[in-house]
Amino acid sequence: MAGEPLPALVLASASPRRRDLLEAAGARFEVLVSHADETLEGRPDPAQAAESLARMKALAVAESLPQDRTAWVLGADTVVALGPDGDATLLGKPADEGQARSMLESLSGTRHRVITGVCVVRWPSRQVFLDSECTHVTMRQILPQEVQDYVESGEWQDKAGGYAIQENADAFVECLEGGGFDNVVGLPVNRVFEMLRLAGLAMGQDGS
């Protein structure tokens, strides 16, 4: 509707899964995609890596906003960590079928972590609120033919670790511990709402 005020909440993500989770929670928001460089150097702590990427995304979008706009910019990034801190292999989004196959084979039969970093930037004050949530995922042994079928399905595309628990990969998962299902999908909604309240935006106010 013409003249309708912009939402106070801005989602700095192109992920349809994050949009779906926020919409299901009743949030009103605008989507502005971040084009921040998501390259990580070395072998950072998994939580620090996820939070750093979320912060880069949120700040990149916040700094594109006009100075006279009041907004809360939400950035998020999900990584899959295989192995203990200090020696963890971080799995992001596979670039091709070969990487997707390799990721699934490495995760088969493991108990690994899915960490989503969350950053809220209050604009125009540039206050930064940063946190993360971790879910331990126990995955059964995946048969070679199952790996092949999953890779051929294309479901791995744009998914951290090369699998989507909200789709057919739930058949590979035996249990979740710690953070919730939504965290594995890509956004810990309750934690996000807590962070937004801490940052001064109670959901339901200002059209959000």
Residues with active-site annotation: 77
Q: Read off the tokens for 120.
A: 């809220």
The strand pairing partners of 111, in sequence order, are 138
Segment (H or E) for 100? helix 97-107
Least Cα distance to 153 among 170, 174, 167 occurs for 167
Omega of the bond prior to 7 within 30 degrees of 0, cis?
no
How many beta carbons lie within 10 A of that of residue 190, not counting itself?
13
